[in-house]
A and B are shown apart, each in its own frame.
Chain A
Amino acid sequence: MSAGFFRRRNFVRPYVLTRGRTSSSIGSMELHAPIVALVTTDQLPKRATPEDRRIVELTQTPVSLAEVAARMSTPVGVVRVLVGDLADSGFVQVRSAPDQGEHRDVALLERLLEGIRAL
């Protein structure tokens, strides 16, 4: 077995990636919150982890938190913390949940309805 086998991330307990933290500075980042990278992976500092690079890579166009987590095969809770760190550093942008939910916004619901009807 190659050394690479033992470096596969699956061998790391998930919250080791977040240094044990379970909450994010971004606060309430919903499962469907869109995330977009503000940089390319080349522009990340050298100290950026493989997970950071992967997140930036996956979010070159806007992608939801749940989707990033699914594509990384990493629990949402872990990805939320990592994304929060990247957002604090200005590498990604997150659309966090407003207090007054968009799901109560008449104009948005009208657009949603139109969009579904047009499917």
Chain B
Amino acid sequence: MRSDSMWETTATPGAPTAPGAGPGAAPGAGGDASTSTGLPVSMKIVVAGGYAVGKTTLVGTISEIEPLTTEADITVESLGIDFAGPVAGQKTGTTVAMDFGRITLGADMVLYLFGTPGQDRFLFLWDELVRGAVGGVVLVDTRRIEDCFPAVDYFEHLGIPFVVAVNLFNGVYRHHPREVREALSVPANVPVVLCDARNRLHVKETLVLLVEGALRRAQHSG
């Protein structure tokens, strides 16, 4: 009885086969949930690019919630850089903020968009961010095109599907996507598109391109 009402709120109302819910469930029962439990399938796309390139704007344009900020922990020791934190040498003393948004797709799928922290020195964090991601959007400001190099390198190195989105500021761009493609020398299968981060349709189309690429790869990798 204790959890019956709970399961009505989940995504599979026709399947009240809640596993041993509640206290007293078998140890570890909480750890191996599957789609049959009513938990939604959660997907993730990472939005990367240089500092202040418009990542949070892009996330906010399509998110159904105001972008949220969460703090991920970093280990100062692993960085070899100087954080202006209050306590030097403390292992778990520093966190870095990430912005993210959410899009509910149908009854049982949720897509999260995570913005990478804006600076190259946080690249090490991406392993956590990128784990399990469908792919990445690399947002480019053509006035500072080099800012996106670490992101492109990272996705390429890990073989993660990505698209390059040239952000339009005030509707203008200084370099044609073709020039951006040449500057980045990304493979032909990586789309390079113009995308006003404030334009919902642009953002949507950019995500479509990304997922199409991820799907093609999944189909071909059998």
Contact = CB atoms under 8 A, between A and B. Distances in A.
Interface of A: 14-15, 22, 25-28, 30-34, 36-40, 43, 45, 60-62, 64, 66-67, 69-71, 74-78, 86-97, 101-106, 108-113, 115-119
Given A93-B37, A103-B43, A70 B31 contact: no
Contacts of B25: 38, 90
B3 to A, nearest CB: 5
A38 B6 CA distance: 7
Contacts of B6: 36-40, 60
B41 A102 contact: yes
Interface stretch (B129-137, B143-151, B163-171, B174-182): B129-137
A33 B40 CA distance: 9
Contacts of A70: 68-70, 100
B71 A76 contact: yes
Nearest to A15: B92
Interface of B: 2-3, 6, 9-11, 18-25, 27-34, 37-44, 62, 68-73, 92, 95, 98, 100, 102-103, 105-106, 109-112, 114, 128-129, 131-135, 200, 204, 207-208, 211-212, 214-215, 218-219, 221
A96 B114 CA distance: 18
5 contacts: A61-B9, A70-B70, A86-B30, A90-B29, A112-B111
B218 A97 contact: no
B92 A77 contact: yes
Most chain B CB inside 10 Å of its own CB: which residue of A22, A66, A76, A93: A93
A113 B70 contact: no
A88 B214 contact: no
Contacts of A117: 204, 208
Most A Cβ at <10 Å: residue of B20, B71, B72, B95: B71
B1 to A, nearest CB: 10
Contacts of B204: 116-117, 119
B42 A33 contact: yes
Contact of A94 (B22, B30, B103): B30
A32 B33 contact: no
Contact of A102 (B9, B33, B43, B114): B43
Nearest to B219: A106
Contacts of B23: 39, 43, 45, 89-91
Contacts of A76: 70-73
A113 B68 contact: no
A96 B33 contact: yes
Contact of A116 (B9, B31, B111, B112): B111
A116 B105 contact: yes
Nearest to A67: B68
Nearest to A91: B23
A55 B70 CA distance: 15
A88 B43 contact: no
B62 A102 contact: no
A32 B3 CA distance: 24
Contacts of A91: 22-23
A34 B39 contact: yes
